[in-house]
Structure 1
Amino acid sequence: MAKILYSCTASLDGFIAGPGGDMSWLTDLIGPNPAVADVIAEIGALLIGNRSFRGDDPHRGTEKEGKAFGGGWDGPQFVVTHHVPEMSVPEVTFVGDVASGVAAAKAAAGDKYVNVIGADIARQCLAAGVLDEVLVMTAPILLGDGVRLFDHPGGTRVRLERIAVSHAPLATNQRFRVRG
């Protein structure tokens, strides 16, 4: 049975995108990372938020632009949106809500992980009690503003259990199990 994993790179001050969803800060920080290679091999499907799907790409202007993990992964993708584009996108299915997206992505992933891309979709998965793990690659940069790794107005506490930590030249990787 597929598990749901939220993986992302975050600045040291907790942002996964800069102001306005800017991802250009990540371009210079993409490099070899065994934790990323390992997680890519574990992914069976992606569950993506609409803003992430339509948003900025750290690979903009290269042959890797628009490809999951810069072309390092290929497979079924499920985008949660209320605004389905008129043109189809290969290997992308548009779904109207997180519950149907989770169900479809889990079915497609088989016994591999569903990787969540997008802070709001991850927050919704957490609220629904379906998020199993979080993998954060912390980059050595401070952004000061932008899209937070986890944002819950009014605050909330979510207990995590660290299950792995490793270091790469451009990131410190921490993997957690969601405990509730």
Structure 2
Amino acid sequence: MGKVAWGFTASIDGFIAGPGHDMSWLAAAEPNAEGTTELMASKVAVIISGRDGYDAALAQRDERDEMTSEAYGGAWSGTEFILTHRPEELADDPTVTALNCSISEAIDRAQQIAGDRDIQIISADIARQALEHDLIDELQVFVAPVFLGDGIRIFDVPGGRRVDWELVEIDEANRRSFGRTYRPKGRGEGSGRPAE
């Protein structure tokens, strides 16, 4: 079984999107080397995202460039789940599967499709929900050399919640936008279960 990964590019000040889900700032990021992007894309079978991000992508479709208009700059193909309380509103979009369910159920359904490939969560709110249920096996972080000052925070929990991570890998290919891969502290590799 593949991993459930939360992957994103963030600004130095901790945002994954600007105000209104603006993604134009990603031009400041050093894109992954082409081979790295294709390798990462080939590992992911299912992407789980949220309705706000979906709506923003539609609204900004004429403004977004190749890098931000499609997953992995268009190198990815697979199934995209959009979690929404109004799935009927997306029934006419053949590119996504709209689900009104818990994150646990969405991941169960995604694992049936993914098999040995990975599931990637690309929504901060959905990732927060998955963390609450201990469902994330890996955190894939790229940090772009830019401050945004406002927008969608990586992890926003009123009152706070501490989550510790262990370093698994450092991406040496992209020197300007450093990348790191982590797993939840105390977890063994792979299954997502706590280490014995």
Q: Same fold (TM over 0.5)?
A: yes
Distance 1:92 1:107 in 2: 16
- Given that residues 26 and 58 in structure 1 are in contact (C-alpha distance below 8 angstroms), is that contact kept between their aligned partners in structure 2? no
CA 1:141/1:58 → structure 2, altered by over 3 Å: closer, same or farther? farther
- Given that residues 15 and 143 in structure 1 are in contact (C-alpha distance below 8 angstroms), is that contact kept between their aligned partners in structure 2? yes
- Given that residues 16 and 153 in structure 2 are in contact (C-alpha distance below 8 angstroms), is that contact kept between their aligned partners in structure 1? yes
Instruction: Tell me the residue number matched to 1:148.
Output: 153
Distance 1:38 1:24 in 2: 24
> What fraction of aligned residue pairs are identical, expressed as a percent?
35
By how many angstroms is 1:67 displaced? 2.6
Runs of 4+ in 1 over 6 A off after TM superposition: none
Instruction: Tell me the residue number matched to 2:94.
Output: 90
1:67 aligns with 2:70: yes
Count of aligned pairs: 180
By how many angstroms is 1:138 displaced? 0.5
- 1:151 counterpart letter in structure 2: D
CA 1:136/1:35 → structure 2, altered by over 3 Å: closer, same or farther? farther
CA 1:124/1:155 → structure 2, altered by over 3 Å: closer, same or farther? same
Bigger fraction of residues in strand: 1
**TM-score, normalised with respect to structure 2:** 0.82
1:24 aligns with 2:24: yes
SS for the counterpart of 1:16 is: strand
CA 1:59/1:162 → structure 2, altered by over 3 Å: closer, same or farther? farther
Instruction: Tell me the residue number matched to 1:159.
Output: 164
By how many angstroms is 1:70 displaced? 2.3
- 1:177 counterpart letter in structure 2: R
Larger Rg: 2
SS for the counterpart of 2:47 is: strand
Q: Structure 2 stretches of 5 or more lacking a match?
A: 187-196
Deviates more, 1:155-164 or 1:84-93: 84-93
Please report the RMSD computed on the Cα atoms of aligned residues, expressed in angstroms: 2.2
**TM-score, normalised with respect to structure 1:** 0.89
Distance 1:58 1:179 in 2: 38
Distance 2:141 2:77 in 1: 21
Distance 2:90 2:32 in 1: 37
SS for the counterpart of 1:55 is: helix
Q: Structure 1 stretches of 5 or more lacking a match?
A: none
Instruction: Tell me the residue number matched to 1:81.
Output: 84
CA 1:146/1:64 → structure 2, altered by over 3 Å: closer, same or farther? closer
Deviations 1:143-179 (A, max 9, x none): 1111111111111111111101124154100100013
Distance 1:58 1:142 in 2: 23
- Given that residues 45 and 118 in structure 2 are in contact (C-alpha distance below 8 angstroms), is that contact kept between their aligned partners in structure 1? yes
Instruction: Tell me the residue number matched to 2:179.
Output: 173
